A = this chain, B = another copy of it.
Amino acid sequence: MSYTAGRHFLQIPGPTNVPDRILRALDRPTIDHRGPEFQMLGREVLAGLKHVLKTKAHVIIYPASGTGAWEAAFVNTLSPGDKVLMYETGQFATLWHGMAKRLGLAPEFIAGDWRHGADAAAIEARLVADKGHEIKAVCVVHNETSTGSTTPVGEVRKAIDRAKHPALFMVDTISSLASIDYRHDEWGVDVTVAGSQKGLMLPPGLSFNAVSEKALAATKSAKLPRSYWSWEEMLAPNKNGFFPYTPATNLLYGLREALKMLIEEEGLDNVFKRHDRHAEATRRAVRAWGLEILCANPTEYSSSLTAVLMPQGHSEIAFRKVVLEHFDMSLGSGLGKVADKVFRIGHLGDFNDLMLMGTLAGVEMGLELARVPHKKGGVAAAMEYLATARSGKAAQQKAA
Q: How large is the interface on A (under 10, 10 to 19, 20 to 34, 35 or more residues)?
A: 35 or more
The residue in chain B whose Cβ has the minimal distance to the Cβ of A68 is: B228
**CB of A67 within 8 A of chain B?**
yes
Q: In the complex the two chains form, is B383's CB within 8 Å of A379's CB?
A: yes
The residue from B23, B227, B246, B274 contacting A195, defined by CB atoms under 8 A apart:
B246
Q: Which of A2-10, A165-173, A185-193, A212-220 contacts B (4 or more CB under 8 A)?
A: A2-10
The residue in chain B whose Cβ has the minimal distance to the Cβ of A27 is: B27
**CB of A297 within 8 A of chain B?**
no
**CB of A361 within 8 A of chain B?**
yes
| A345 smallest CB distance to B (angstroms) | 13
Q: In the complex the two chains form, is A251's CB within 8 Å of B205's CB?
A: yes
Q: How far is the CA of A329 from the CA of B37 in the complex (A)?
A: 12
Q: How far is the CA of A268 from the CA of B53 in the complex (A)?
A: 42
The residue from B21, B195, B391 contacting A1, defined by CB atoms under 8 A apart:
B21
**CB of A106 within 8 A of chain B?**
no
On whether A380 and B369 interact (CB within 8 A), knowing A1-B265, A26-B250, A204-B248, the answer reads no
User: Which B residues touch A102, using CB under 8 A?
Assistant: 225-227, 230
Q: In the complex the two chains form, is B245's CB within 8 Å of A65's CB?
A: yes
On whether A23 and B27 interact (CB within 8 A), knowing A329-B354, A355-B7, the answer reads yes
The residue in chain B whose Cβ has the minimal distance to the Cβ of A8 is: B29
On whether A387 and B359 interact (CB within 8 A), knowing A10-B31, A248-B203, the answer reads no
User: By CB atoms of chain B within 10 A, which of A23, A104, A205, A326 has the most?
Assistant: A205
The residue in chain B whose Cβ has the minimal distance to the Cβ of A266 is: B3
**CB of A390 within 8 A of chain B?**
yes
Q: In the complex the two chains form, is B6's CB within 8 Å of A246's CB?
A: no
| A207 smallest CB distance to B (angstroms) | 9
User: Which B residues touch A249, using CB under 8 A?
Assistant: 15, 203-204
| A331 smallest CB distance to B (angstroms) | 9
Q: Restricting to A236-254, which residues have a CB under 8 Å from any CB of B?
A: 244-251
The residue from B10, B27, B31, B266 contacting A8, defined by CB atoms under 8 A apart:
B31
The residue from B6, B19, B99 contacting A227, defined by CB atoms under 8 A apart:
B99
On whether A30 and B15 interact (CB within 8 A), knowing A63-B64, A67-B246, A103-B225, the answer reads yes
Q: In the complex the two chains form, is A369's CB within 8 Å of B350's CB?
A: no
Having A31-B330, A197-B246, one finds 20 other A-B pairs with CB under 8 Å, namely: A3-B260, A4-B352, A5-B266, A5-B352, A6-B353, A6-B355, A23-B27, A23-B28, A26-B250, A30-B197, A35-B330, A63-B68, A63-B205, A65-B228, A103-B226, A104-B225, A204-B249, A205-B250, A248-B248, A358-B361
List, sorted by A's number, 25 A–B pairs whose CB atoms are closer than 8 Å: A3-B19, A5-B352, A6-B351, A6-B353, A10-B31, A16-B30, A17-B30, A24-B27, A26-B203, A30-B197, A35-B324, A36-B324, A65-B228, A66-B245, A67-B227, A67-B246, A103-B225, A203-B249, A204-B246, A326-B353, A326-B394, A327-B352, A354-B362, A355-B358, A361-B379
